[in-house]
Amino acid sequence: MMTLIMIVAFCVLMMLAVPVGYALIIAAGIAVLSVDYVPLSIVAQQVYDQTQSFPMLALPFFMLAGTLMLGGTLGQQLLELASKALQRWRGGALSTTVISSVVFGGVSGSAVANASALGSVLIPWQKRHGYPAPLCAANNATSAVIDVLIPPSIPMILYSLVSGVSVANLFIAGILPGLLMAGSFILVCWWISVRRGYPVSKERVRKRDLALMAGKSFPALALPVLIILGLRFGFATPTEVAVLSVVYSLVLSVAFYRDLSFKRFCDNVVEAGVATGVVMLVIMGSAAVGWVLTFDQTPQFVAHWVAENMANPIVIILMMNVLMLVVGMPLDLPPAILLLGPVFVPLADVIGLDRVQLGLMMVINLGIGLYTPPIGTTLFISSSIAKAPLGATTRELWPFFVMAMLLMLAVSYIPALTIY
């Protein structure tokens, strides 16, 4: 009963445009008030307890490392390397966004940050090369989601909190799907450019210049490798790796690139703090909602009902994907993971679905929601930067959307793609 009241209250609050974090807390409070045997203070307790988790410290430090590395010379070096290396390929200017998302994904860990940072630089540049604004926006909106698959990934850390799965295993499992998504999007960029006859840049870039740019960008490219090695071989916990990433970024900015001023450092800290606060509010609200679900034994009920009425695991996995697609349209990725994780993890255990595989399914599926109307975060950001009508941008999405859906289905039914 509490769960039903909470769901109705949450839907009403979302229709009233209440921010997701506040809507979660209020909905949980309304559910608790609907019964007289649970004190309202339990909501405050759950909200507070979630902030005392040591692994949660990884979030602000990974975000700070990303802002430090991408806010100065290093970010410019990475973009220049990608654009120069691809400019003579058919659709190379569009593919630059895809490759940059792979590289930036290993640093920032946030699709929204990726869409904003890359879009503001690459979309105007692509428009000057003759590509239409809606296509540039669609390419940026979809490519940004690669960020949540390439480690470090903020959504994977959140899934680890609700599933108990090792962050290291999730990070490693995300590499192959992330590269497959990047490869499929590059194929789409090439196909669109050939089909529409977009020109190829005739400017030549010497191999020596490319090697020099690659050398300057190597420290940033090495960071995700160092993160994976540190976690895989147990040198440090995820939180310790996040702190070391900040130290690594500071040393590079001060000693190697020498572009870190005190003002930029303060700006980066504030930027990372604001981003962390937004995510933390959602996490705190999800903790209260999760307590209500657990108190009502909703995950166990769902798992038992599915086991009794749907015997075919293939159908169950398809049903899970459909539900995630529906939920991912109005909800942002972090709250969707925190809400669906406690329900889907017991269900995955019942049908024998590996928890790491489930995590990749959720991240890819809910990531698609970031550029799916009506509330696609990266879709809105990219359209705004490109100054393109939302409808026109949405029409350009379909080839990228098809490739992402095929990858999602492949990850859902082929466990070998999530090797860890």
Model pLDDT for residues 148-199, shown as the tens digit of each residue: 888 888 888 889 888 889 888 898 899 899 999 999 999 999 999 888 888 7
Three-state DSSP class for residue 72: coil
3-state secondary structure of 38: coil
How confident is the model at residue 205, as a pLDDT? 67
Range of the domain at 62: 2-418
Whether the pLDDT of residue 358 is over 90: the answer is: yes
- Please tell me the total count of domains within the chain: 1
pTM: 0.81
Question: How many Cβ atoms from other residues are within 10 Å of residue 224's Cβ?
Answer: 21
Count, in order, helices (H) and strands (E) of the chain.
20, 0
Alpha-carbon distance of 373 to 227, in angstroms, equals: 34
- What b/e sequence results for 179-212 when a residue is b if at least 16 CB atoms lie within 10 Å of its CB, and e otherwise? ebbbebbbebbbebbeeeebeeeeeeeeeeeeee
Angle at 48 between CA 159 and CA 237, to 5 degrees: 45
* pLDDT (tens digit per residue) in 306-340: 767 777 888 889 988 988 888 887 777 888 888 88
